[in-house]
Amino acid sequence: MNKNISDNLKYFSEAPKGVKFWEGKKYEFNLALSVIIELQGEKCVQKIEKRQDEIINQLKNTKIIDNPYSIKKSGLYKYPPKNLHFTLINFLKCKFDNKDKLTEFKNLLKYTNYEEIQENIIGIIKHKQIRRIKTDLRWIYSGDNEGIDSFSLQAFPHPVLIKKLNEINKEAEKKTYEFPCNAVGIKAYPKDTKSAFTMNILRFMRKDKSSESIEYAIKDDGKKAIDIVKTINIKDNRKPLKSLTIKKLCLVESDPFLREHEIIKTFNLINKFYKN
């Protein structure tokens, strides 16, 4: 366990203060550098699926959602194996009120410098010569002061990767700032050390066109969810869910769920590791 994790152990492993529905917009355009779990090995996917089921089996009043774009009853969206991922850098992020506006935006991309931005980012990442990264997947993220809107595993890659991501983001910003879209940057936290990333595996989502409260939708499963996180985090203090070797990174154009996505470029990382 590296020093950044051990110094912030309570922060990473504490229980959430409550649960809430995700309030984000479904229709997004993201250009991101991501770790797609399916590309790293089958065993890791199986471990995560087992944790998903461990949580779901205890929430008897909560509906499991298969399609985040068509929700007939509020509940938990279960990320399919092929969509499990965590984002390292969001280079571009645009949000839209509906699918038509997203489609219109995509059609206009050919009239912008978007292709040049992609090529620039690919060149920057290749130049960094990133090695394979070992990281633990452990603890459910406790969220902000209002609680969690998802069950999210945390990943803790080597500090050298954080340094290289900072360099990539800084260099990429020279091109992305010209684009009419929000450039979010590195998706790590806490803000001071940027030592952890989150991977959503289950997400609380409200029924389409509904304003119902989460307390009404899932009854006492809200309190039960907090207890589940407490139990999991105590267990993960002893041993991580999985030690993952990141072998590939992907430049991806996607929605917020990686459900509708295109891999622009896959980067096979150098078969060496950074020293601890």
- CATH for 3-269 (3.50.50.60, 3.40.190.10, 3.90.1140.10, 1.50.10.10): 3.90.1140.10
Residue 195 pLDDT: 87
Q: Which residues pair with 108 in a beta bridge?
A: none
pLDDT along the chain (276 residues), means of 10: 70 90 93 97 94 97 95 97 96 93 92 92 97 95 87 94 95 83 85 88 95 93 95 94 96 95 97 89
Please enumerate in sequence order all residues whose Cβ is within 8 A of that of 58, keeping only pairs 6 or more positions apart, or say none. Answer: 224, 228
**Interatomic CA distance for residues 86 and 34, integer angstroms:** 6
pLDDT at 179: 80
User: Is the sign of the CA dihedral 222, 20, 209, 65 positive or negative?
Assistant: negative
Q: What pLDDT does 11 receive?
A: 81
Sort residue 231 into left (φ over 0), alpha (ψ -120 to 50) or beta: alpha
- Per-residue confidence (pLDDT) for residue 176, from 0 to 100: 82
Q: What is the pLDDT of residue 1?
A: 63
Element (H, E) at 186: strand 185-186
Tell me the DSSP string of 65-133: ES-TTS-SS-EEEE--GGG-EEEEEEEEEEEESSHHHHHHHHHHGGGTTHHHHHHHHHHHHHHT-PEEE
**What pLDDT is stored for residue 227 in this prediction?**
96
